[in-house]
């Protein structure tokens, strides 16, 4: 059986909360964050836990997938307390 990719689009605050919940406990590295200035796109690739499986009642031990978060029409990107020279450093995403 072919698995369907999860595709979410945020048009409201509630949509952003849903995306944030799906990214809970995700990990990434600095090298997986990019701002394509010319195209005004900001991308982050995550290794995330498949919370949608849990919602369906499917409990797989540590099922994780590669996911990309894309923002369009981004004019500038700034970071705080993120050493961008340490490209291989991992960090974890916690939603609130």
Over the stretch 31-71, which tens digit does the pLDDT of each residue have? 999 999 999 999 999 998 877 666 666 666 667 888 899 99
Q: Please state whether the predicted TM-score (pTM) of the whole model is above 0.85.
A: no
Q: Could you tell me if 69 and 46 are in contact, meaning their C-beta atoms sit under 8 angstroms apart?
A: yes
Cα separation values, 77 from 29, 40, 80, 84, Å: 16, 10, 10, 13
Residue ranges per structural domain of the chain: 13-82+89-93
Please state, in angstroms and rounded to a whole number, the distance separating the CA atoms of residues 60 and 3.
15
Bridge partners for 44 per DSSP: 33, 69
H-helix segments, 1-96:
13-22, 51-55
């Amino acid at each position: 059986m072919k698995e369907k990719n999860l595709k979410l689009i945020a048009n409201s605050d509630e949509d952003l909360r849903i995306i944030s919940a799906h990214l809970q406990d995700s990990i990434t590295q600095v090298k997986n964050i990019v701002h394509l200035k010319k195209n005004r796109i900001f991308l982050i690739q995550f290794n995330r836990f498949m919370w949608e499986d849990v919602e369906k009642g499917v409990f797989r031990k540590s099922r994780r997938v590669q996911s990309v978060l894309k923002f369009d029409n981004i004019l500038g990107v700034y970071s705080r307390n993120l050493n961008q020279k340490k490209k291989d450093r991992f960090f974890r995403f916690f939603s609130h």
